Amino acid sequence: MTDARQASDDIRFMGRAIALARARMGQTWPNPAVGCVIVRDGEILAEAATAPGGRPHAEEQAVPAAGDRARGATAYVTMEPCGARSSGRTSCANFLMDAGVARVVVAAVDPSPFACGRGVDRLRKAGLRVETGLLAQEAAVLYEGYLHRVETGRPLVRVSDTGDGFDARFAASPKADLATELERLGEAGYTRVWVGPGDLAEALADQGLLAS
């Protein structure tokens, strides 16, 4: 396969993985929505996104669905496969390694303690080719809330008319300690919440708690 054809295929299949993840936004907290597409010789063997409630992860659904055909394949994953699991279950990196996947293309690196480069490092040490950053900008919306919670302890808050793709609506008095209220939601696992236009949105903006 020519380099140009490979690059075109990589963009197409990662785009598919991002679309799968976007369709699950707002359904997978406390985990981020991740898409995984497993491909060999230009054919999609299996695809999956993080299940509602955050488990199973995308890779642990897609790899078994691909079965023996995954050996030698490429996996397109919107976020770095976890190198360890807080639950002690098999990590997504291990699922890919054990299946014999030859190459893993990743859009975004995961800053959480259970990834933070560990998944990529494990895959590379096992001999898999790993490439990161493909369509990272397109994948950014998937993880803006998750990254915000990792960095601040609070979910990201945006103004929305419908709340589509958000974990929940943020309801509080504009006079409340809004940072504390958001920290409680962050502790509960929320990553991305919404408010309608009005006094609460203005109070959040005044306190620097509303995303642009």
Catalytic positions, please? 59
User: Exposed (0-12), middle (13-18) or buried (19+): which is 56, by Cβ within 10 Å?
Assistant: middle
* Residue-by-residue DSSP string for the chain: --HHHHHHHHHHHHHHHHHHHHTTTTTSTTSPP-EEEEEETTEEEEEEEPPTTS-S-HHHHHHHHHGGGGTT-EEEEEE---SS-TT-PPPHHHHHHHHT--EEEEEE---STT-TTHHHHHHHHTT-EEEE-TTHHHHHHHHHHHHHHHHHSS-EEEE-SS-TT-SEE----TTS-HHHHHHHHHHTT--EEEE-SSHHHHHHHHTT-S--
